[in-house]
Amino acid sequence: MPIETTDPFGQLDLTDTELRETAYEIFIGACRSTGGSRPLTYVSQSSGKSSSSSDRMSSLPSLQRSVTLKAASKVKKALGIKSKKRNDGTENKAATVGELMRVQMRISEQVDSRVRRALLRIAAGQLGRRIESIVLPVELLQQFKSSDFPTQREYEVWQRRNLKVLEAGLLLHPKVPLDRKDPSAQQLRQIIRGARERPIETGKHSEAVLTLKAVTMQLACRSLDDYAPDMCHWADGTPLNLRLYQILLEALFDIEEPTSMIEEVDEVLELIKKTWGILGINQNFHNLCFSWVLFNHFVSTGQVENDFLFAADNLLLEVKKDAKSTLDSAYSKILCSTLNSMLEWAERALLAYHESFYRGNIELMQSILSLGLSAATILAEENPRENGRRDAMDVTYAKVDIYIRSSMRKAFSQESEKVRVSRKAAKTQLNHLPALCMLAQDVTDLAFTEKEIYSPILQRWHPLAVGVAVATLHSCFGQEVQKFVSGINELTPDVIQVLIAADKLEKDLVQMAVEDSVNSDDGGKSIIQEMTPYEAEAVIANLVKSWIKTRVGRLEQWVDRSLQQEVWNPKANKECFAPSAVEVLRTIDETLEAFFLLPIPMHPDLLPELMRSLDRCLQDYVLKAKSGSGSRSSFLPVLPPLTRCKGTSKLNGVFKRRDRSQSQRRKSELSTIDDNDFYSITQLCVRLNTFHYIRKDLDVLEKRTITHLKSIGIRDGNILNGSKKNFELSFATCVEAIQQVCEATAYKLIFEELSHVYWDSLYVSEISSSRIEPFLQELEQDLEIIATTVQDNSIRTRLITNIMRASFDGFLLVLLAGGPSRSFTLEDSSIIQEDFRFLMDLFWSNGDGLPRELIGKHAVTVKNVLPLFSSDTGSLIENFKSLMIDNNVSSTKSRLPLPSTTDHWGPNEPNTILRVLCHRNDKAATTFLKKNYNLPKKL
């Protein structure tokens, strides 16, 4: 804390010793002048010390009062200064007030004796004349010669001092403004300049002194008014008078114990006031000067006696009243200079009060703050143009606001520097906290210290002291956070740790601000608005989202790459599913675990986004894995145009294939897999296993997610239940993919892989020699392979059910859309029904296959259509015509129109009956078809 002050009264070319001796001469002269007409008695030093005190001061009634223990000082009481006990040793104490003053002003007995002797001579020559009517330095020069001093040097020093006082009072700082061309002034300058080179001869009859006296009287007797025509103005110009008066007032402090004021302060101060006439001091100047002396003495003595500061502050209350009631420009100038010096000193401490004050001296802060604000308030009222028209409350509020913000910024800067130094020292250590985490904790401690120690004092003048302090700290730390965030490239534990520390600090500071401002006019709205949010949680959330995006992006790239390399080999593992699916699920699990290991507070908030991203990624894997596997319609043959059967002629290549030509023969799946064909039956089965494996593992992932949430303390039922709804897209896509691939596998097997024994052979040419047995044999082999490859019972059942459905559809297509190469007689119907029973038995497999109820459900359509093949041709034709009429089908021609082709076969469908007729190998059917439709016998 600074200990120096700026002198508000200005500088003089006089030393403190010179001023003190001059002040003492004025003090003794003033007391003599008011002591009545009783003569001053001179007692020679040679008389001895026994008579020095009482005898020498016997003619000075005010000075010769004995120093005795008296009642408590009124002055001290008024100023708020506590009286201290006297020391027991009183043998060295002065016996009289006059002697006390000599000791206090450090005047030697020799000098004191000479002054009193001179004053006796002056009084003898000018009986009845007041001290204010003479120029004391000139009178003193007239009383002594060099022979009156022990040495010539001492005489010259004494003479030079008196001439310097005359120069200061009459030429440099005169009470009445001086015209530089004034002849008396020019003459006085010449005398003083000459005396510096060669001392003048002094004495009562010295011509030089007489000339000096004449010149000085002309200058000293100048006046701006006639209020006191006999008043000499030689020591009442500013700053000479104030410096002299300051020295007199400083004598009120015990020379032996500077932190105490003398007990006789009332009596001494009464005598000091007698110098007002000479020095041009009034009550206003006294109050101002005394407040400065009290303040300056507090500072110069090490700031240990708080009472002096308290007294100076109390006296400023009187100064404030004086300032309002006086229009003296000289007073106003000194007032501003004095108060600015006080305020400047106080603000050096208050603008960084954390450096200056602590718990042990916090009362001192209150005194300095009170004094500084008093000075600031008076200055604001004295200079309304500079400070604006603000009342005292506005001034103090604004000042305290500045002190708080400045101190908090400096305190923050110091804490930041300490952290930087400690971090530099700890660089070689492991597991050290990030710098901003340490700083956040220090700032938290600083805020609570501020609230506990400093704010209770500051709130006397600033009701939102805590709020302003924490808002300033919030702003300072916010700048560090902004710099930190701008440099973040990736999410790391240190980054999260810093952001969480910032978020916690912000919440603590905001809470303190809210609590502090709850009773304010705006409820603390202005302070809270000042605290621009760090948005640490938002930064964390964005970083986590970026982390999620990066992780998921890598997973997506891996999915694409792994699917390109996946061969869907059933021998890859005993469960017969794709290794890539295992890796995808493992990566998802690792990502979830890594997410929950992130030291962030908002796992439940960010989990849905992570789960959605993982869900989409897994869905993408499933969609890409099933893509290209085909569908039911992609393997169904295109129905050929209606033709009449050719009887026993053989026609191959009836069907057009969508994906492959009919001439391509089925590859044997009992041997190794063709790596160039990713959609063989076994590979499609591996896909089914993979989708089932993924769907089953989704339940495991969801349970692990709930476990992770519980491990971080989440017990909210809504959040836990919500986590069970994750992977909805993947789950639905797996279900859909299983259904689609089951269907595609079944129709691929029946309509593509077994085409050579089904479409190309069944019932072609002679029925008895092209029955269903070859198809059943190969289908049985395939079913065994499928049963071995597909691991899950439910998936296996679904796939075989779809194969059964495809084989039933194929059976009907052979019968109803087999082209001109297939012809049936009534007698063939029993063979057809028997073959169909064989087909159903294959899927029943003596009870080891599909349930009879399920087989019967899918066989309904075939069973309903087969009776048409055992119906005579005439009945079929009549039934066909009847249905065409019922369906409002009419023709203006003699021929019946062709019925529309539908996706459904049935005994009551005209299209189904017409196709049975097309494949009926008899004359009646041929005649009917030729007459009505003229159908060809070849494609």
Q: Which of 33-47, 75-89, 296-310, 610-624 has the lowest mean pLDDT?
A: 33-47
If DSSP codes are grouped into helix, strand and coil, which group holds residue 526? helix
Give the pLDDT of residue 655.
42
Residues 516 and 608 in one domain: no
If DSSP codes are grouped into helix, strand and coil, which group holds residue 780? helix
The amino acid at residue 515 is E
- Residue 480, token pair as written in the block: 């560090």
User: Residue 920's beta-bridge partner residues?
Assistant: 824
DSSP letter, residue 96:
B
**249 pLDDT more than 90:** yes
Residues 401 and 451 in one domain: yes
The more confident residue out of 385 and 251 is 251
Residues 250 and 366 in one domain: no
Q: Is residue 385 part of a domain?
A: yes
Residues 546 and 435 in one domain: no
- Residue 682, token pair as written in the block: 């076994």
- Alpha-carbon distance of 904 to 919, in angstroms, equals 18
Residues 663-707: tens digit of each pLDDT:
334 444 333 344 445 689 999 999 999 999 999 999 899 888 888
- Alpha-carbon distance of 69 to 486, in angstroms, equals 74
The more confident residue out of 419 and 451 is 451
The more confident residue out of 894 and 558 is 558
Q: Is residue 198 part of a domain?
A: yes
**339 pLDDT more than 70:** yes
Residues 505 and 403 in one domain: yes
Angle between helices 183-197 and 207-220 (to 10 degrees): 140
Q: Is residue 840 part of a domain?
A: no
Q: Which of 263-267, 637-641, 746-750 has the lowest mean pLDDT?
A: 637-641
Give me the mean pLDDT over the 805-828 stretch: 93
Give me the mean pLDDT over the 11-27 stretch: 94
The more confident residue out of 312 and 601 is 312
Residues 117-154: tens digit of each pLDDT:
999 988 887 766 788 889 999 999 999 999 999 999 99
Q: Is residue 498 part of a domain?
A: yes
Give me the mean pLDDT over the 916-931 stretch: 91
Give the pLDDT of residue 889.
59
**356 pLDDT more than 60:** yes
CB 290 within 8 A of CB 252: no
Residues 120 and 169 in one domain: yes
Give me the mean pLDDT over the 282-308 stretch: 94
Q: Which of 72-86, 283-297, 525-539 has the lowest mean pLDDT?
A: 72-86
- Residue 858, token pair as written in the block: 């899918």
If DSSP codes are grouped into helix, strand and coil, which group holds residue 328? coil
Q: Which of 260-264, 591-595, 856-860, 893-897 has the lowest mean pLDDT?
A: 893-897
What does the buried/exposed string (b/e) look like for 186-200 if buried means 16 or more CB atoms within 10 Å of the residue's CB? ebbeebbeebeeebb
- Alpha-carbon distance of 54 to 444, in angstroms, equals 68
What DSSP letter does each residue of 99-146 carry, written as one string?
HHHHHHTT--HHHHHHHHHHHHHHHHHSTT--GGGS-HHHHHHHH--G
Residues 459-489: tens digit of each pLDDT:
999 999 999 999 999 999 999 999 999 998 8
Q: Which of 53-57, 223-227, 773-777 has the lowest mean pLDDT?
A: 53-57
CB 312 within 8 A of CB 269: no
Domain final residue pick, 258, 281, 304: 281
CA nearest to 55, candidates 95, 115, 23, 106 = 95
CA nearest to 109, candidates 34, 51, 33, 62 = 51
Give the pLDDT of residue 770.
93
- Whole-number percent of the chain with pLDDT over 90: 62
Band of residue 228 on the pLDDT scale cut at 50, 70, 90? low
Residues 419 and 554 in one domain: no
- Alpha-carbon distance of 654 to 758, in angstroms, equals 12
Encode 900-938 in three state secondary structure: CCCCCCCCCCHHHHHHHHHCECCHHHHHHHHHHCCCCCC
Give the pLDDT of residue 227.
59
DSSP letter, residue 39:
P
Give me the mean pLDDT over the 893-915 stretch: 86
- Alpha-carbon distance of 865 to 843, in angstroms, equals 20
Give me the mean pLDDT over the 64-85 stretch: 73
CB 827 within 8 A of CB 761: no
Residues 472 and 563 in one domain: no
If DSSP codes are grouped into helix, strand and coil, which group holds residue 638? strand
Residues 240 and 152 in one domain: yes
The more confident residue out of 682 and 47 is 682
In terms of Cβ atoms closer than 10 Å to its own Cβ (0-12, 13-18, 19+), residue 487 is exposed
pTM of the predicted structure, to 2 decimals? 0.74
Residues 597-626: tens digit of each pLDDT:
888 888 888 889 999 999 999 999 999 999
The single residue listed with the structure tokens 């699917």 is 563
- Alpha-carbon distance of 542 to 548, in angstroms, equals 10
Residues 317 and 443 in one domain: yes
Give the pLDDT of residue 671.
35
Give the pLDDT of residue 37.
38
CA nearest to 406, candidates 346, 366, 484, 463 = 346
Give the pLDDT of residue 749.
96
Q: Which of 15-29, 341-355, 557-571, 889-903 has the lowest mean pLDDT?
A: 889-903
CA nearest to 763, candidates 816, 723, 717, 727 = 816
Q: What is the mean pLDDT of the chain?
A: 86
Residues 420-437: tens digit of each pLDDT:
887 776 654 544 678 999
- Alpha-carbon distance of 614 to 596, in angstroms, equals 15
Q: Is residue 770 part of a domain?
A: no
What DSSP letter does each residue of 396-461 carry, written as one string?
HHHHHHHHHHHHHHHHHHHHHHHHHHHHHHTTTSSSPPPHHHHHHHHHHHHHHHIIIIIHHHHTTT
What domain range is 564 assigned to?
537-640+678-734
User: Residue 2's beta-bridge partner residues?
Assistant: none
Residues 260 and 362 in one domain: no
The more confident residue out of 847 and 267 is 267
Query: Which CATH number does the domain housing residue 626 bear?
Result: 1.10.357.50
CA nearest to 755, candidates 789, 779, 739, 771 = 779
Q: Is residue 528 part of a domain?
A: yes
Q: How many CB atoms are located within 10 Å of the residue 375 CB? A: 30
Cα angle 266, 268, 273; round to 5: 95
- Residue 457, token pair as written in the block: 């004092």
Residues 510 and 373 in one domain: yes
Domain count, the chain: 3
CB 55 within 8 A of CB 45: no
Domain final residue pick, 256, 281, 306: 281
**Beta-carbon-side half-sphere exposure of residue 756 (alpha carbons within 13 Å):** 10
Q: Cα-flanking dihedrals φ and ψ of residue 92, to 5°?
A: -95, 0
- Whole-number percent of the chain with pLDDT over 70: 86
- Residue 655, token pair as written in the block: 């069907």
Band of residue 71 on the pLDDT scale cut at 50, 70, 90? low
Residue 239, preceding peptide bond in cis (omega within 30° of 0): yes
Give the pLDDT of residue 180.
76
Give the pLDDT of residue 879.
94
- Alpha-carbon distance of 152 to 145, in angstroms, equals 10
Domain final residue pick, 718, 734, 750: 734
Q: Which of 151-160, 415-424, 851-860 has the lowest mean pLDDT?
A: 415-424
Tell how far CA 271 is from the center of its chain.
Answer: 65
**190 pLDDT more than 60:** yes
Give the pLDDT of residue 371.
95
Q: How far apart are the first and last CA of the chain?
A: 114
Q: Is residue 483 part of a domain?
A: yes
Residue 93 Cα distances to 67, 90, 264, 710, angstroms? 9, 5, 12, 84
Residue 400 Cα distances to 364, 403, 437, 469, 510, angstroms? 16, 5, 30, 11, 21
Q: Cα-flanking dihedrals φ and ψ of residue 412, to 5°?
A: -60, -45
| Range picked from 63-72, 308-317, 493-502, 814-823 for highest mean pLDDT | 308-317
Cα angle 189, 192, 195; round to 5: 150
Q: Is residue 619 part of a domain?
A: yes
**Long-range contact list for 116-122, CB < 8 A, 24+ apart?**
116/28, 116/40, 116/42, 116/56, 117/42, 117/143, 118/143, 118/144, 119/28, 119/29, 119/32, 119/40, 120/39, 120/40, 120/41, 120/42
- Alpha-carbon distance of 453 to 446, in angstroms, equals 10
CA nearest to 519, candidates 600, 450, 459, 593 = 459
Q: Which of 220-224, 508-512, 523-527, 847-851 has the lowest mean pLDDT?
A: 523-527
